[in-house]
Amino acid sequence: MKYAFFDGVGFGFTLSLMIGPVFFGLMYLSIVNGFKSGLIYSIGVLFSDLVLISIAISLASVITQNAQINYLIILIGAITMCIMGIYYIFFSKPFSPQLEKTNYHKHIKPRKAFIKGFMMNTITPTVLIFWVGTSSFVSIQYASRINSILFFFVGCLLTLFTTDIIKTYLAHKIRTFLKPQYLSKIQVLLGIIILGFGCFALLKLYYKP
């Protein structure tokens, strides 16, 4: 189980490098409204992931009972990750809002910050699909052992939440790196990692022991 936990930590760290609407929402709220608002926003994202992963594990448990459907889901997930990796490496053009010109000046209620984080993560259409694919792959990886699967996701979510807290605390310093020339390098690195995960999933699918 400890190996599953550390696998989850490594996977969570990779996910923490992803730069999208949730990330920029966190940066903006932390810079404009301060550390506390950013922290509550991160808690909202965490709760959203908990809900979505619970749904994903339930769906995955049904999927993995049907060998053909399970094979198809893993295949689609692996190919999707490979396509995402190639896209990040060769075609993605980083979007960088002008956070370096943003100053702390507003106040937001904690409840609103929580809802923003929860909804921003929940309504992103690819998030649930991603967690379903991940849950299916993890179920096969750990032979549907529920304890190992749970330890994997605990490690993953703890890492994501910890890195979000660090991002929130360092938001004013991080924003100087949110420029196209820096983001492009991060996206290439992220693309290589995602492509690696996709290729690994394909190998596991076709070369089972």
What are the boundaries of each domain within the chain?
2-206
Q: Would you state the pLDDT for residue 182? A: 66
Q: Which helix (H) or strand (E) holds 143?
A: none
Q: Which helix (H) or strand (E) holds 85?
A: helix 67-90
Q: Would you state the pLDDT for residue 178? A: 62
Rounded to an integer, what distance in angstroms lies between the CA atom of residue 152 and that of residue 148?
Answer: 6
Contact indicator for 104, 31 with CB cutoff of 8 Å: yes
Q: Would you state the pLDDT for residue 40? A: 93
Token pair of 141, please? 């990886």
Predicted TM-score (pTM) of this structure:
0.72
| Residues of the chain predicted below pLDDT 70 | 1, 63-67, 69-70, 73-74, 77, 92-107, 125, 144, 172, 175-183, 186, 208-209
For the purposes of burial, counting CB atoms within 10 Å of the CB of 189, is it exposed (0-12), middle (13-18) or buried (19 or more)? Answer: middle
Rounded to an integer, what distance in angstroms lies between the CA atom of residue 193 and that of residue 11?
Answer: 10
Q: Would you state the pLDDT for residue 153? A: 94
Rounded to an integer, what distance in angstroms lies between the CA atom of residue 12 and that of residue 32?
Answer: 26
